[in-house]
Every structure is written in C-alpha cells, then in structure tokens.
Chain A
Amino acid sequence: MKFAIEYISKGGGRIGRLTGLQSQPGAVHETPMVLVSTVGGSAPHLTQDVLHLVVDKDAPLHVPAQHFCDHVQVLQNYKKGVAHFSALQGHSVCVSVQDAAKATPQGYNHKKGVSLWTYGGRQIITADKYMDLMEAMQPDWYEALNDADPGIGSSKKRILNSTTSSMEYLKQCITLHKASQKLKGSALFAPLLGGRSEKARNGWSKSLMSTTVDKSAISGYTIVGLHTNGPEVEDLQPVNVSNIVKASLEPLAAELPRQTAGMWNPLTVLQLAHLGVDIFDSTFPFLVTERRGALTFPFRLNRRQNDGAYSKGSCLEHQNKKLKVSEDSPKAKAEEEVPRQDNKIRESEDEELSSPYEINMKNKSNVSLMKPLLEGCECYTCKNFTRAYVHHLTIANELLAPVLLMMHNLHHWMDFFSSIREAIKTDRLEDLQTLITTSVFESNEV
C-alpha cells in the first residue's frame, strides 16, 4: 500500500492518495475516504448486484475479523480471500478486529487473548490465531490484534493492562507479518489506544514511534478504544473526542494514513477529518438503516455568498420537535464551542430512536407522501420510490425496507465524503461544519 499526502488544508483536514493495493493495483482512492461496512462479508441487506447500484465495483470494504473467525477453515480451503468468498472480488478489503456496529461486551479480554463474539459464541483469539485468519482472509490492509476494551470510565489499571497486552500482540503480529509469505501484499496498521486518557494515548503513540517497535512494518494507524462499538458511540460529543484523538495523533509520523471505525455522527466525522483522520467506515448509515431512518442532513456547500447565508438545499424534517440551541451561535471553530447537543431524539408517541440527521420512516406523516426520501437525491431509492412506499414497507416489516434505506443511506454517506474532500481542497471544511450544525440544530417548527 502506498499513501501520499497531496494537500494539507489551512482550514483543517488533509487530502491523501491511497494506491498500490494488492487487489486493485491500478486503483487510486482519494482520502478522506469511506469504507463500505459489511456484515458476514456482505454490505448489510445488499446483494452484490444491488450493492453495485450504489457504489463502484472496486469500493473498499471494511470486514471485521469477528465475522470470520468461525470460518477460518473454509477460507483456508477456498484460498482466494474473503472478498472473493463473499462474491465481492474486485473490492479491496480492510480487516479490523471488532465489528464497529455491535457493542463489544466489556471485561472479557485478558492475557490469553482477545475475545471475539461470533454467532457461535465467544472465541478467544491469540496473535497466532489472528494471523492465521489474516492469511486466510487476504486483506489489502489490516489492523493488528489489540485489546481495545477500555471504554468510558476505565480505570488506570485497566488501561495499563490493555496497553500492555496490546503491545505484546502488536509485536507478535509484526513478527508474524514479516515472516508471512501470504501477507506480503497486505499492509499492517497499528492500533492507537489508551482509552479516554489523553496521557495514556499520548504515551502509547510515543511508544509506537520508539525503537521498541519495528516501524518499517507499519503502514498506517487505526484509532481504537474510544468506545466499545455499538450504537452508543453516536452520543459521544465531538468535543470529547477531539482532545483524545489529538493526543493519539500528535507523536506520530504524519505521512501514514489514519483510520477510524464506529457510529460517528456527521459532525464528529467532520471533527475527525479536521484533525487529519483519513479513512472512515459506514457504521453510521448502517445503524440509521437499522432503526429505519433515512439520512437527510445537507452537505452540499454552495458557492460562497456575501451574506453568508447558505441555501438549506436538502432540508431536514424536524417534525415539530424543538431542538436545544446553544446560546453562542455555533460557528467557526467547532471544537471547544460546540455545545452539548442532543444527538438522539425520542419521539414521544412511539419511542423510536432518531437523530436530527435523518427522518424516521416509521413516522405516520410519511403515509401518503408522493415525494422521494430526499428531494434532489440521485440514489436508486429516491429516483424510483416514494416516502409513502418506503413507509408502507417499514410498517409492514418487509425486508425491502432496509434494502431501500441502506441504498439511500450509503449513497448519501458516500456523497457526504465527496463533499468533505471538496471542502478540504477549497479550505472550507469549517464552512461544512457550520452548514450542518446550523441546519441540524436550529429550532425549526415545520
């Protein structure tokens, strides 16, 4: 894998170029980029031909090792890697340890190995087992085995234990990676951990840069241990995440790519991009689909107007909810001034989870709407179907509902990232942050 920084924006963020992937030698991926999250090797709800109605045939995938540790045998017999096995040959693959969409039960990791929860139950994975699995999956890049257990409120001792184990795993993975013929074309990423402690994170990253770790084997970094995966990640505020991530990134070589996974909401994604994170996943659109939401947050920056008023474009449905607005107008440096915002709204009638970034298709207001999920959206769902139909499918518990929603949400997410790249190139990342913040968090009675 080759990664080159093309542009560092004064307004935050950087543009990179990812090339030299073993499964796509000719492909060039511009960063910040988003990986298609998968379950069991497939995009959630989307068969291969349907996925190809939404993303390119070479769109990189994110595959958790967790989903395949029960299948190492068959992958070894198959010999062609996990993408091919899942009928997605031609797509490059990044493997991480855990599934970012499902909360990892805490407290199950110890010296013997990392616990991975599969349909068959709990498996304890040592570095040896993990590397066997990597050889069978044949990823383009993968994360070293790590114990990223510490979530919110982990004790110092717990964090220390996790960093100690993880350093051990990292060294073992590096040794095995270098010795492995089968992983010659795969790139190894080192995890960045240390729980929520800035000190621990900074310390860990420093140790990665020290002589104790063979840096030549490391091609990039994955930011882990900020959460324990699952939907709760959505509630993490950008301001909480920012300082911790900065502490992790500060000691590192800037020229290597940085990756993160999890249910980061759009504003947090922008914050992470601002800090120089290059690779993201699509857990957010996936979990929004699972609660039958359709993403509607705007992300198209128009040409700058003198009065600073941006067209709302694809506007959000607030459905008579009053959202909290901070006293300070949310602008410019989103970092410290971002107020505590309610990311999740509970609709009082039916207690359905939603967020200001989406509309919930269970909502009865959709029942006879002839318009698409989002006006102006060019995705397959919006070009062919109405809100009334998707609402009908949702209420009727039909399998086509999550299919159509996943198509829309993934498309929306991909377009969002195009917009992020565009904003960074034109030094307007903060404008994008403002656009979303003002659209989403203004009180607006509909």
Chain B
Amino acid sequence: MATATAASLPGASVAAAAAVSSSSSSPALSFRILAECSKSKARTSLMKLPHYAVELPMFMPVGTQGTLKGLLPEQVKGAKAQVILGNTYHLGTRPGKDLFQDFGGLHKFMQWDRALLTDSGGFQMVSLLDLAEITEEGVKFRSPYDGSECMLTPEESIEIQNAIGADIMMQLDDVVDVREKDYERFKTAAYRTTRWLDRCIKANKNPDRQNLFPIIQGGLFPDLRKISLEQQIARDAPGYAIGGLSGGEAKEKFWPTVHLCTDHLPKNKPRYCMGVGFAVDLVVCCALGVDMFDCVFPTRTARFGCALVDNGQINLKARDFANDFRPIDEKCGCSTCRNYSRAYLHTIVTKETVACHLLSLHNVAYQMRLMQSIRDSIKKDCFAEFVEDFMAAYYKDQEYPQWVVDALAAVKITLKK
C-alpha cells in the first residue's frame, strides 16, 4: 500500500507538485480542493470523513475527557464545530478502552455525531508525567494511580484509539520538547517516529473507517524535517500532521518550519498543524497552506474569564465592564452574544460555572467564525485582503510583529502600513 512516488521526494519542484491532482481518496477520507488563493498557499477544501463532511481550513476545539467544558453536544454544534479532539491518554486511563469497546466508541458515549479526532497520548505522557521515559518499545511511565510501571506502545495507542473510534487517529510519535538543543535527539526522534508509524499502521484494525495520520518531526532543523517528510509521505497516508511545534519556540523559527513542511506535503491531502490556536497564528498558517488546527486555548482562557474578540481577548473580570451592556461582540451570532451582556457576565465570571459555559461557547463560536471568514475569502479569492484587514484590526497602529510580516511576505502577502 505504501509506495514512494516521485512527487514526494525532497527537492521535487513546485511545478511537479502542482501537476498532482487537487483531490485524493482513501477508504475513510476523501479530499477535494474547492478554491485556492492566487497569492499565498491558502486553499479551501472539503474533507469527507465517516461521520461528517468537513470544510477546511478548520479549527478543532479540544474535548479532552470526552466532553467540551460543560457544553452540551448540541451547543457545540450550534457554535458550528465540525470536529472535536479527544485525548487518548485521558480516555484510555478513564474510562478505558474496554468500556469504549462495550459502548461502541466515543461518539455514542458522548453523543457527538460529527467527527472526532484523537491524539496518540504521547504528548500528554511526556508533558504530564514525571517519569516518562522513551524507549524504542514505547513510552515507559509510572501510573499516576498506583505507581506501577506501564508502557504505552504504538500498538497499545492504536488499540485504545480503535476502541474510541475517532474518524482520525494520530500515530504515536517520539515527540521531543522543541526547545531541546541536542540535534541527535531530534534525529533519533525523526527516524523512530517513522518506525512507530509503521507499527501503528500495522496495528490499525479499522482502516476502512478510521484514518491514521503520520506526524512530521525534526524539531526546528530543516534537514531533519526533510528526512521526516520524505519518510512519512512515502507511507501514503490520507493526511499528515506537522508535530513538535507550538511548544514555546520562537515564532521566527516556527513559521519557516511550517512553510517548509507545507511545501513538501502532498497538495491533495489535508495538512494538520498541531497545537495552534491563537487567531494570528491561525491566519498565518492558513496562508502557509495548513488546513487543520487544534488548541486548548479558547476553552482554557474562558475559564479565566476571557472572551475572544477581533483584536485579542477581553477579561470580563475588569471593572471596565461593570456597566457595559453590550454583548461580548456585536458581530457574533452565538447564543452568549445574542442573550447576555458584558455587565452581567462581569457579575458572575470566575464565580459561577454558568459564566464558564457562556464564555467557552462564545470562544468556540469565535474560532469557528474566524475559520468561516477565512474559507469564504479564499472562495472569493480575496484572502490576501482578508489577511491585511485582519492584521490591521488586530495590531493597533500597524505595529506588526516581524515574524508575521516575514511569514506573509514569504507567500506574497504584504501588510498595510
């Protein structure tokens, strides 16, 4: 099934990539580009998954433990979410894969009838557990419940993910903290990630209804990224993820890595940049040709009383809002903005759970509305103008961060002065 094609070798010309069709089809995923930006690498597409036909580019809110922060599934749908993300580490621990096998998967368990994506559990292990140790076999760790030694292998990760039944599963990858300085560590990780991908592919019991995405590694080293790209693309997956970023690295290093990856990844398959969620980052990455994103940010910041707006966030705890009877955003059509005022939210924020729900709902709706605007502008081929307007509104007095200017310039978008 996995064949290395000429078009996926590093150094393949852009022209050759353009000659490849703008659609692809796998047993559990079909992808078709609907429109492309005439300047940048942005494109808008339709990705059909077993549970839902998803419009790209899109943002996936994170529902870690099989729930999205106090929101009913119909509220999440009302906010226009298409795919939500579940965490394999958390769900595999509790309620565990046996329950999912008995219940017929997470969709039924949480009553979500659109698409689901699960990560592999690897990242959580490394970031949450003190004694996680990575070996060739897998990730060795101590159970936080009884202290016993456990091992998360590629096979085990896929077994849990098969039980959860998400439309898209992520491979277990050897993820290194991006701020690590040791080149050799990244090199090992790049090669190991491919070996683990092969084990994941083999372990997948449901290739007909569950997609498995490889993850591109290599840290911030272009040569390692190219090696990882070449190897992973050779496996001919339904889609690919760019991993190992959004871990606190400098933005100046972040965007060129994304740019490199999207240059090499097949055009006719979805590209997923993991862990990206800030509005500016989303817009830039879309310009760089990314289709899918996830981040805890919108739901997490809601817990602290922050609502997302076009030029950042407002913290409703601030006294400024005590007598502000406007909704969070007059342009927003979410049920929070249609019914609640900033002044009321100010009285309950961080005090009552209802405030958390209302802000989570708005923040998810905000992200969805942003992605819809991006998609619409690409369809009308005015994405470049959209970006210029967006950045001008976001950065007062046009004090754009240099990385934003550079990243957009690399794809022929010039910001207003």
Contact = CB atoms under 8 A, between A and B. Distances in A.
Interface string B86-114: 00001000110001001100000111000
Interface string B340-360: 110110011001111011100
B322 interface: yes
B132 interface: no
Contacts of A388: 95, 99, 103, 109
Contact of A74 (B69, B75, B322): B322
A139 B267 CA distance: 62
A172 to B, nearest CB: 27
Contact of B339 (A48, A386, A389): A48
A39 B348 CA distance: 9
Contacts of B357: 45, 47, 50, 399, 403
A47 B352 CA distance: 11
Interface string A178-203: 00000000000000000000000000
Contact of B111 (A39, A50, A77, A384): A384
A49 B358 CA distance: 10
A42 B72 CA distance: 17
Nearest to A380: B72
A425 B409 CA distance: 78
Contacts of A50: 72, 75, 357
Name, among B335, B347, B358, the residue most crowded by chain A CB atoms within 10 Å (CB to CB). B347
Given A49-B335, A368-B99, A389 B110 contact: yes
A254 interface: no
Contact of B67 (A70, A386, A398): A398
A151 interface: no
A368 B70 CA distance: 22
B70 A398 contact: yes
Given A74-B322, A370-B103, A385 B111 contact: yes
Interface in A394-421: 395-396, 398-400, 402-403
A124 B335 CA distance: 37
Contacts of B351: 40, 119
B354 A400 contact: no
A27 B75 CA distance: 29
A386 B343 CA distance: 37
A48 B336 CA distance: 9
B108 to A, nearest CB: 9
Contacts of A380: 72
Given A49-B75, A50-B72, A396-B94, A74 B354 contact: no
Contacts of A41: 344, 347-348
B352 A40 contact: yes
A368 B97 CA distance: 12
B66 interface: yes
Name, among B68, B351, B354, the residue most crowded by chain A CB atoms within 10 Å (CB to CB). B354
B273 to A, nearest CB: 27
Contacts of B340: 48, 87
Given A40-B354, A384-B111, A398-B65, A403 B95 contact: no
Contact of B72 (A85, A367, A392, A403): A403
A393 B67 contact: yes
Nearest to B324: A74
B99 A367 contact: yes
B361 interface: yes
Contact of A400 (B67, B99, B102): B67
Contacts, number: 110
Name, among B67, B69, B325, B356, the residue most crowded by chain A CB atoms within 10 Å (CB to CB). B67
B17 interface: no
B71 interface: yes
Interface string B62-83: 0001111111100100000000
A247 to B, nearest CB: 38
B95 A392 contact: yes
Contacts of A368: 99, 102
B339 A78 contact: no
A77 B357 CA distance: 26
A71 interface: yes
B91 to A, nearest CB: 9
Contacts of A386: 103, 109
A393 B90 CA distance: 12
A78 B325 contact: yes
B323 interface: yes
A120 to B, nearest CB: 11
Interface string A29-47: 0000000000111111111
Interface in A369-397: 370, 380, 384-386, 388-389, 392-393, 395-396
Contacts of A395: 94
Contacts of A74: 322-323, 343, 347
A71 B94 CA distance: 42
Interface in A147-180: none
Nearest to A77: B323
B67 A47 contact: no
A148 B352 CA distance: 26
Nearest to A78: B325
Contact of B344 (A86, A367, A398, A402): A86
Interface in A66-116: 70-71, 73-74, 77-78, 85-87
Closest 6 CB pairs of A and B: A399-B70, A87-B339, A40-B348, A400-B67, A42-B354, A396-B65
10 contacts: A44-B353, A47-B75, A74-B323, A87-B339, A87-B341, A87-B344, A368-B102, A399-B357, A403-B70, A403-B72
Interface of B: 65-72, 75, 90, 94-95, 99, 102-103, 109-111, 322-323, 325, 335-336, 339-341, 343-344, 347-348, 351-354, 356-358, 361
Given A42-B354, A403-B70, 11 more contacts: A47-B336, A47-B354, A49-B75, A86-B344, A119-B351, A388-B109, A392-B65, A392-B94, A396-B67, A399-B69, A400-B69
